[in-house]
Amino acid sequence: MRDTGLSMFLAAGTTLLLVSAVGCAVESPTSSQVQTDPQHSGSSACPNGAALGNFQPADNVAAGFSNNDHTTTYWFASLANENPAGGVPGLIKYCVYSTSAARPTAIDVQATGANGATWTFRAGSGDFSFGRPTGNPSNIPLDGGTTTIGTATWDEVPSDQTILLHINDASVCDDLYGNDPGTCFVKSAQASACVLDMGETNVAYNAMPFGAAACARTSLGFEATQTTEFGDEVQLGGTARQLVSLKVLFSSWACEAGHWYDNTCSTTPGATFTHPVTANIYAVADCGGTPCLGPLLATVTETKAVPYRPSADPTCTGSDLGEWFNTVAGLCKPQISIVLTFTFSPGVTLPERVIWTVAFNTTHYGTPPIGEAAACFTASGGCPYDSFNVGAETFLGAPYAGSDVVADEAWVNGVRDTGWTDFKPLGEIITTP
């Protein structure tokens, strides 16, 4: 593996909250409050947000979300197979809270219960919920699996979201609250915000676990490593082959003023820069028995809004001096990460194996390089695209859909490069039948 200039990080961004199975109780809860699943019209049937501090953590379930542009995707995981029968033990309801005044403009419910029934959505005054449509048979079973609950689309994504889970698990609820309540609400203990070993499985290919945008650690800097294009050769899973989109994890180390590597980074909260990025899908060709780039099957160039990393936080000291405090991971971090989606024109049918890449220009590299005449080159923070990286990390169990053709290889500047076993390019290919 050549000198990659891989940038290390433990967690970054603010796009994931991992909820490690938690329990909850309303203040002095009555049996009806913890046992029933009321369905009041115009209400989410979730506990009042003011009572969240009273709920207890459980250790058998987890939940979380990731933000991409204006869409939040919510997921749920059963952390052990409890051999459910008829949806019990199972998840009854999935409540989402935010202190923001923003409300979703659209909801897509994707979860189904143990009996195959599609879940429903309800909105309250300060929260909303996904829930079972009928009784226990439509619970999501606690069988050790991971489920995508659904998505919410916003005009402006809230900066904070909290998840509360309503479970039917008699033994867990009795341990948490006593009096054998049967069912109970549970909330996140925040015990481990960065357990990255599960990801989206209902796509053609996916190397990104849930939480990658908040917790991934390594990335490839284009300007630092003379890179113009980066990606991977993959084998698609499933049978759907009509290309829809490509998702890629990016990492931003840029500050509006100053630098990430000292104590000078200063950024207006929420500030972004824009930069054009090209996403490509190639066929795989045979060049004398060696794989090489085949015909370009699909390409799209989109100008993306990328966050500057936040200002240096005074709570980050010692070896963390100059970093910002990531409240999701509870750690000081030098950069912020984001998953960007590239949508292709319809009508492209993919073969079983493809090479996906992303490409963009920096000051000294690209087609063509931007050059040093750009005004940002002499600015305090430099040109932000020179501190713009692509995620590269191999996670436990990845890929979660499809397969990596050669784990030790990535495609750099159009050719195969070895030494990438621990640094899988972080992409996801979405297709439709």
State residue 247's pLDDT score. Answer: 95
Top pLDDT among 169 and 29 is at: 169
**pLDDT score recorded for residue 271:** 92
Question: What's the average model confidence in pLDDT over 184-205?
Answer: 74
pLDDT value of residue 18: 25
Region at 35 (left for phi over 0; alpha for psi -120 to 50; beta for the rest): alpha
Is residue 140 predicted with pLDDT exceeding 70? yes
Q: What is the pLDDT of residues 382-396, one digit of tens each?
A: 999 999 999 999 998
Mean pLDDT of 154-168: 90
Mapping DSSP onto H, E and C, the string for the chain reads CCCCCEEECCCCCCCECCEEEEEECCCCCCHHHHHCCCCCCCCCCCCCHHHHHHCCEEEEEEEEEEEECCEEEEEEEECCECCCECCECEEEEEEEECCCCCCCCEEEECCECCCCCECEEEECCCEEEEECCCCHHHCEECECCEEEEEEEECCCCCCCCEEEEEEECHHHHHHHHCCCCCEEEEECCCCCCCCCCCECCCCCEECCECCHHHHCCEEEEHHHHCCCEEEEEEECCCCCCEEEEEEEEEEECCCCECCCCCCCCECCCCCEEEEEEEEEEEEEEEECCEEEEEEEEEEEEEEEEEECCCCCCCCCCHHHCCCEEECCCCEEECCEEEEEEEECCCCCECCCEEEEEEECCCCCCCCCCCCCCCHHHHCCCCCHHHHEEEEECCCCCCCCECEECCCCEEEECCEEEECCCCCCECEEEEEEC
Q: Confidence class of residue 45 from pLDDT cuts 50, 70 and 90?
A: confident
Mean pLDDT of the chain: 85
Q: Which residues of 264-279 are buried (b: 16+ CB within 10 A; e: fewer)?
A: ebebeeeebbebebbb
CA atoms within 13 A on the CB side of 145: 17
CATH number of 19-187: 2.60.40
pLDDT tens for residues 77-107? 777 778 899 999 999 999 999 888 888 999 9
- Is the pLDDT reported for residue 282 higher than 70? yes
pLDDT for position 37: 31
User: For position 43, what pLDDT does the model report?
Assistant: 64
Residue 31 has pLDDT above 70, yes or no: no
Percentage of the chain lying above the pLDDT 70 cut = 87
Question: Is residue 35 predicted with pLDDT exceeding 70?
Answer: no
Give residue-wise pLDDT tens across range 230-270.
999 999 999 999 999 999 999 999 999 999 988 999 999 88
Higher per-residue confidence, 242 vs 195: 242
Of residues 233 and 190, more confidently modeled: 233
Higher-pLDDT residue of 176, 302: 302
| pLDDT band, residue 194 (cuts 50/70/90) | low
Dump pLDDT digits (tens) for 326-362: 766 667 889 999 999 999 999 999 999 999 999 999 9
Residue with tokens 């990335």: 219
Per-residue pLDDT at 147: 83
Task: Give the pLDDT score at 190.
Answer: 42
Q: Where are the domains of the chain?
A: 6-12+196-432, 19-187
- pLDDT of residue 128 exceeding 70: yes
Q: What percent of the chain has pLDDT over 90?
A: 62
